[in-house]
Amino acid sequence: MVVRIVVKMAAPSETYQIDVRDKDINRWGDYVAGLILSVGMVLPLGLTLAELDHFWIVNAIYAVFVVSMSVGAIVKIVAYRRGW
């Protein structure tokens, strides 16, 4: 059994290779997340220009990151469910 595990690690079968569709879906989700992140960072910039407390600025940055990654994950799930 140990020899088989070592052989599979050295030369994985075709069933474990990444499909082109997986790469496309991953790229599309990351693209959408990046767009939301870049547009969403206008909010912390506005808070900085308004000279609010650092607490609000940092929480706005964190919220934009959370929303960006969440939407990116949702886009990936929807793409998988609809059969990209």
**What secondary structure does DSSP assign to 66-80, as a single string?**
HHHHHHHHHHHHHHH
Start-to-end CA span in the chain (Å) = 38
- Output the pLDDT for position 15: 62
Q: Which DSSP state fits 13?
A: -
Other beta carbons within 10 angstroms of residue 6's beta carbon come to: 10
Domain ranges of the chain: 17-82
- Model confidence over 6-61: pLDDT tens digits? 887 777 666 666 778 888 999 999 999 999 999 999 999 999 999 999 999 999 99
Task: Say whether pTM exceeds 0.75.
Answer: no
Residue 13 backbone dihedrals phi, psi, to 5 degrees: -75, 175
